Structure 1
């Protein structure tokens, strides 16, 4: 018996993965951000008669999906930006989560018959954290000031931890029937700081492994997959925050990654992580849609319209709280502190509005709602479990679909894309390249004068660097919108791409001639790929 279910599960996962890929491609055609599209598609699939309901073990979501997704998010977060916007991030990730949970708790208690305050806090903890993936994928391809994306990414990294902590305490209160504030606050401090310290310690261990053992790119890549699971499992085992352990460990390792990894490892690990992260995210969003019938079936004691009404009211409150919180959080510290006014430019009304509208709920909310136990302490059913699950669903749907689809329109309406904080990316890229070439030339002029006179190859290297520095300088000038220079640059790229294409075709011919070894040909092909990638990432 066990054997067939395993087969069925693997088939189900493969089927879902394939469906997810097709849907993502369709979503790209329709220009709809993929989390929104996948949730709606999952919903659609769940209505197909004869499909077995997909019941997921919530521990699986927490265990399989959460650590790598958080780790990837931490790895992609710029530590500098994170630290630069620590105040708004902290206000959102801790302040707003607690504020939302509290208001949701009191409203739910007043509105829903038989709903206690502890259950209200449970619901609040579940639906208070916005989703990292949803926000970044909705904003992909839309020009938004870096400040907004940095704050959103930073917030969604930490708010999972604070909301899960609220959730954990509320759950304990429902199960034991008592709730002591002092105890909650002190254990909150222990759970969070313990998680952070453990994550940093383990990350340091992995740092030593990567740094001092004779690893290969493949070994390094696999180690980066083991790391988040080790951090998460060990932290949960010790009763501290697994989420914060993964996040702090990921931030530490990504900060030191230039010391730890060589170029090959970076290229390999990045592409592997990109694919795996994409697959995990896609699966989670499609599962959110598929879980709905499970939530609806269990709505005993409430009619569907009633439950939908509760869900919509709570969604409205959650959206409103976030918008209301944004403006004081953005402006009160500015009024109170001259230092902040001096350091940071004013966010204007557009910044807080867009941040306020970008509170799309997702993976963590679903996983928390599903992980509410079926039975309470005395063996009786957990009170209101299905209603909590259903309301969570409605909140995820409303925020993800409604806010996610309207966010790009709002960004266009506010004109926030044109508020440039720094120079445009093309100029930044050319500027960085110029600095790097110059430091290389200065270094060679200082240390390798004799070599350059005697060794023809080293002389050629210096000449190539000089030519590249000259070319980058020209590029910077061309970006000042001198039309003839810009056209010359475009033509240069076209010619270069064409030359690379001819070289590729020649490689294909060489393969059939059977003179050179396949491995060497592949190596050359990779070299051509890198050359081409250099151009395709350049400003056009």
Structure 2
């Protein structure tokens, strides 16, 4: 019963966090508000205690979030930017481990080298979820945003695999670079292959069942899709491969299913709405759980500081700031080197990090915020060694990791808006591409309407032909006005926009009146709930289409 109560409290807090961001005068990013609410829930008076199980957290929260991110990320830009993404997700992540590991060991001799390497491994992954919550949608230029999102998708695996070897070295005292490299390749390739295979199998089975299904209810298919990231993750982990990369590969594979023309609109809407809710809830739970753990972590550090004097706590904070500074300097230097190589080899199109100026480098540096995966990795450090002795430097490593998460978020909250001031996240190339797509789609609709009109009027009498022609003219006029809005003539463009705005307003007002009347009929028991829900669904879909159309006018 206590577990149910805890889950309900956490879900309620996630919902409240969305309202808090809208009502408070100081506009703070949603992840920071959720962390603060988690810290409030950890107050002793609330009697809310959540034991953070890193293995359970990695299995429950990370696969669906990475699956959704991999599904949503533009595949064309991902493969176009693969050089920069791999250089950051694989190259920078693996360079971070020895550089930060040796630096931490030299800075804090009390932390053994293997434990320092483990700390560096958990600090390597970045968090795109926290970044989007800080910067907001459309704030970061799309070329840089795609690189940051792709890096966050891939570097979780590289950092956590490096953590696995660092922990093994700390527990056994044995480390083989050759064995670690070969194991890393096998784990990564195996995870990608398993995830892609499960995603492909899901597409095949979904298509097979759709052909034999007798109804259009998408509920069963949506549930199976919700289980897909967990199936990919657990299958890969059972095989000794990377479950994280398996979830990413499955998400990318499922993108091909969303491109199928035979997927019904009901299924698309159901999937979009379901995944949107899951992402919001799981992201919120992740940051609230992070906030719940911070008071305990800070309290443990304070107890240790009290035993050694107040200055020891100041030294701990100094360690956190130094580690964060080293991470930012290493990241900045790595990206500066990538840009230098791109210019040197005249591969400007290979990576958008080759753009001139310092602002893109600073954006990419501050954009490397750390999040929940870092905390989960730090808390997964063993408590005891095989001989029963305490794992050396564990509390210190957890405190530094937690402090780095908070400080990286705060630095990004303050720094990114300043750097992004005057920068648009939208690009002219993408706007032109969208305009071109809208024109081509409208012209294709006009051609299809003309063909359909000719087919429908075959065999009809004169009266029916006139009615068909009238309907054809009304529908055709909608697409023609749409093309006028997208045209180049300024005067015609303004008039067409005005016509479109009036049309949308009138149609929306009519739909609202229909909805109000249906609700009135239901209250007076003139229609039942089944009739009401069916007609409301039609009105909601039509109004959603008008809302989407109004955003382009």
What is the TM-score when the length of structure 1 is the normalising length?
A: 0.90
Find out whether 1:91 has 2:104 as its counterpart: no
Of residues 508, 518, 522, the one that matches 1:497 is 508
Name the residue aligned to 1:15. Answer: 9
| Aligned residues of 2:370 and 2:409 also touching (Cα < 8 A) | yes
Of residues 502, 509, 514, the one that matches 2:520 is 509
| Aligned residues of 1:430 and 1:472 also touching (Cα < 8 A) | no
Name the residue aligned to 1:63. Answer: 59
Offset at residue 84 of structure 1 (A): 1.4
CA 1:421–1:176 in structure 2 vs 1: closer, same or farther (change >3 Å)?
farther
Q: Deviations over 1:151-203 (max 9, x none)?
A: 11111111111111111111111111121111111111101001011111111
5+ long unaligned stretches in structure 1 = 1-6
Find out whether 1:354 has 2:363 as its counterpart: yes
Name the residue aligned to 1:277. Answer: 279
Question: Does 19-28 or 59-68 show the bigger shift?
Answer: 19-28
Name the residue aligned to 2:20. Answer: 26
Offset at residue 497 of structure 1 (A): 2.2
In 2, Cα distance between equivalents of 1:342 and 1:204: 30
Name the residue aligned to 1:3. Answer: none
| Aligned residues of 1:53 and 1:293 also touching (Cα < 8 A) | no
Question: Does 222-231 or 251-260 show the bigger shift?
Answer: 251-260
Of residues 78, 90, 100, the one that matches 1:104 is 100
Aligned length: 530
In 1, Cα distance between equivalents of 2:511 and 2:284: 35
Offset at residue 433 of structure 1 (A): 3.5
In 1, Cα distance between equivalents of 2:389 and 2:335: 41
Of residues 177, 181, 188, the one that matches 1:181 is 177
Offset at residue 243 of structure 1 (A): 0.4
In 1, Cα distance between equivalents of 2:350 and 2:357: 12
CA 1:403–1:339 in structure 2 vs 1: closer, same or farther (change >3 Å)?
closer
Offset at residue 112 of structure 1 (A): 0.5
Alignment of 1:312-327 (within 5 A): 312-327=321-336
Question: Does 483-492 or 78-87 show the bigger shift?
Answer: 483-492
Question: Does 244-253 or 24-33 show the bigger shift?
Answer: 24-33
Question: Does 524-533 or 65-74 show the bigger shift?
Answer: 524-533
In 1, Cα distance between equivalents of 2:145 and 2:352: 19
In 1, Cα distance between equivalents of 2:489 and 2:172: 66
In 2, Cα distance between equivalents of 1:342 and 1:45: 44
In 2, Cα distance between equivalents of 1:29 and 1:217: 37
Name the residue aligned to 1:435. Answer: 440
Name the residue aligned to 1:371. Answer: 380
CA 1:51–1:316 in structure 2 vs 1: closer, same or farther (change >3 Å)?
farther
Find out whether 1:532 has 2:543 as its counterpart: yes
Q: Deviations over 1:482-540 (max 9, x none)?
A: 65654554344333322222222222233245555533332222222222222322235
Of residues 138, 151, 170, the one that matches 2:166 is 170
Alignment of 1:137-216 (within 5 A): 137-214=133-210, 216=217
CA 1:117–1:504 in structure 2 vs 1: closer, same or farther (change >3 Å)?
same
In 2, Cα distance between equivalents of 1:397 and 1:337: 39
Q: Deviations over 1:404-462 (max 9, x none)?
A: 343123201xx3217734153xx755543332232233345457734344465875665
| Aligned residues of 2:112 and 2:392 also touching (Cα < 8 A) | no
Offset at residue 273 of structure 1 (A): 1.3
CA 1:480–1:83 in structure 2 vs 1: closer, same or farther (change >3 Å)?
farther
5+ long unaligned stretches in structure 2 = 306-311
CA 1:304–1:483 in structure 2 vs 1: closer, same or farther (change >3 Å)?
same
Offset at residue 234 of structure 1 (A): 1.2
Name the residue aligned to 1:472. Answer: 482
Of residues 439, 451, 457, the one that matches 2:456 is 451
| Aligned residues of 1:510 and 1:516 also touching (Cα < 8 A) | yes
| Aligned residues of 2:359 and 2:419 also touching (Cα < 8 A) | no
In 1, Cα distance between equivalents of 2:96 and 2:471: 60
In 2, Cα distance between equivalents of 1:447 and 1:22: 50
Offset at residue 211 of structure 1 (A): 1.1
Offset at residue 466 of structure 1 (A): 2.2
| Aligned residues of 1:202 and 1:231 also touching (Cα < 8 A) | yes
Alignment of 1:197-346 (within 5 A): 197-214=193-210, 216-259=217-260, 261-299=263-301, 303-338=312-347, 340=349, 346=355
